[in-house]
Chains A and B, each alone.
Chain A
Amino acid sequence: MSTSISHNFIRSFSSTSSVARTGYSTVHPVHHLVKVKKNALKPSFQEFLIPRDDIRAVGYKPKEIDQDRLMDYYHNTLQSDLMLNMYKHDSKKILGSKLRSWGNDSPFKLYRELKKPKGSLNQTRDINPITFKNIPQLESISIQIYNKDALENPWLNISSRLLLSQITNVKAKQISAKANILPWKLRRGKACGAKVELTGLDMSQFITTLVEIVLPRIRTFQGIRLTSGDKNGNITLGLDPEDVKHFPEVEAFQELFPNLDGLHITLKTNARTDERARTLLSSLGFPFYKPRRNS
């Protein structure tokens, strides 16, 4: 039989500590270490805890203020057409390249870090056949301005932020340089442009303006390049400073925007391939063209 310890056993390195134990703890109590922001619990701050979509909240902004023409058009007309257009009978799921196992013939391979996917460094997505559940849809638009001149004169960035905010109806965020590159005069943290992410009504409004007003008035515009796209259904187009002039917000107040900047517009869709995304965008009124090899 195993011998039992007569007194209360306390795990410790020294044999004496269990014997000479008093009611005193050398471990610091936790409640002094964990900081509690008690001032945030003040009753006058209660209204800041209300979620933003509640009308009582401080930052409440009504969302559905207008008819969304583009989304109505999409749901009433385009969605079923797109489904019919993209449906392929007897099509199977196309598996993307994933991380591979090393095999299980050796215990060393069991917990080894998985092998890189075939043909690419990163994993690629599976492509599902189109059903009524996964009809491609426009998710968001991200627009970016890179202002090189703002690196030397920081006040120039204000006008590009204002330009983007005026065009899109969303307050633009400031972009700052991420690296120190001397010949480009880049310095980490310096402001060098603006960006916005559009969703919902703002997105629809921007698409409408772009397709109906801006793009038709650009003389040299042929369409979006067929080479554009990130293979995941996000398609990018660029606008020159001269093209930005055609936005009605800029055109009406030309003297307020002496320095115009070009835009990088990325149309993000939930189509998993570029081909599907192009079909979707063509249904919204974007033309496409195949660029020549020489140009």
Chain B
Amino acid sequence: MFKGSIPVNGSSRIISNVINVFTRGKRTKATNVVNASTQKIVNQLSALSASRKQPKLIRLCQEDLIKHQTIMNAWRVVQRRNEQKRNNQLKKQYQSIVNAMEDLKTSHPALYKFANYKPKDGTRFPLDLRMPTDFPPNKPWVYDYVPAETNEKRAKQ
């Protein structure tokens, strides 16, 4: 009854005939395989570690080194000049603020008091003030800008 269903000749026989030839030192199991979650952590660690990410040490010839140092020195000079320029500008602005306040103090004491008033919690800059971007919008400034709140109020009125 079952004789006919079991394949006597065919693939099963061939598999059983494969001879396991033992070779010394040859790896029979894949030992380095870890489960997926462990592999994920290993990947995370390798992303954190510095190995193989640092570029090779730059070995410059004498001429290139001198070029590089000259450029860096020049760049530093430029930076320093800019900083000095900025500081001088600030100093001038500061002096003119002091002069203006001193002037106001003698000429218009009431206005001086108003100008010199500082709220206790400090003031806030408007949130509309934004850092310039590399790709500014086509219409950079809305001249007839109305804040959203007042718009709603107007609609109610």
Contacts and interface: CB of A to CB of B under 8 A. Distances in A.
Interface string B129-141: 1111110000000
A60 B59 CA distance: 12
A69 B132 CA distance: 8
Interface string B80-117: 00000011011101100110011001000000100010
Contacts of B50: 171
Interface residues on B, range: 35 or more
B129 A283 contact: yes
Given A87-B97, A275-B122, A285-B130, 10 more contacts: A55-B65, A73-B132, A88-B118, A89-B116, A90-B116, A162-B48, A279-B123, A285-B129, A285-B131, A287-B127
Contacts of A84: 93, 97
A71 to B, nearest CB: 10
B45 interface: yes
Contacts, number: 96
B58 interface: yes
Interface string A222-257: 000010000000000000000000000000000010
A279 B97 contact: no
A89 B98 CA distance: 7
Interface of B: 41, 44-45, 47-48, 50, 57-58, 60, 65, 68, 75, 86-87, 89-91, 93-94, 97-98, 101-102, 105, 112, 116, 118, 120-125, 127, 129-134
Given A70-B131, A158-B44, A283-B129, A131 B94 contact: yes
Interface residues of A, number: 45
Interface stretch (A15-23, A35-43, A75-83, A120-128): A75-83
Interface of A: 55-56, 58, 60, 64, 69-70, 73, 75, 79-81, 83-90, 131-132, 135, 155, 158-159, 161-162, 165, 171, 208, 211-212, 226, 256, 275-276, 278-279, 282-285, 287-288
Given A89-B101, A89-B102, A226 B90 contact: no
